[in-house]
Amino acid sequence: MAVQPQDDLTLFTTTFALSRKVEQIKNNPNVHLAFGADPRDYALPYVNVVGTADILTDSATKMRCWKEELRQYYKGPDDANYVVIRIVPSLIEYMATGAHQPEIYTI
């Protein structure tokens, strides 16, 4: 999942309109994302994000998140099967290499 972070810490990612992810978010918008966690090496830094997600289908958002690399999956930014997931974090946890306690940011 490629994530596009924004200055206000909101995250955007794209997916198929009929994906399991979209259905899950419609049923429960609470999400948890983990970045960098590797069970083979617990010393690596990682970030956990807890927040809420919603599905966006408006043209302006779809255009803003569009990358030409997505053309292999969608006809273009107006493709009905192309949707954007917006994730608004409420808590971010960062564990640095060598740290014994994570830094926790509440938003």
Tokens 């306690």 correspond to: 101
Query: pLDDT digit string (tens) for 5-61?
Result: 898 999 999 999 999 999 999 999 999 999 887 788 878 899 999 999 999 999 999
Query: pLDDT digit string (tens) for 49-93?
Result: 999 999 999 999 999 999 999 999 999 999 999 999 999 999 999
Rounded to whole angstroms, the Cα distance separating 63 from 20 reads 23
Output the pTM of the full model. 0.89
The tokens describing 68, both together, are: 């030409």
* Structural domains of the chain, ranges and CATH numbers in brackets: 4-106 (2.30.110.10)
- pLDDT band, residue 99 (cuts 50/70/90): confident
Helix (DSSP H) and strand (DSSP E) numbers for the chain: 2, 6
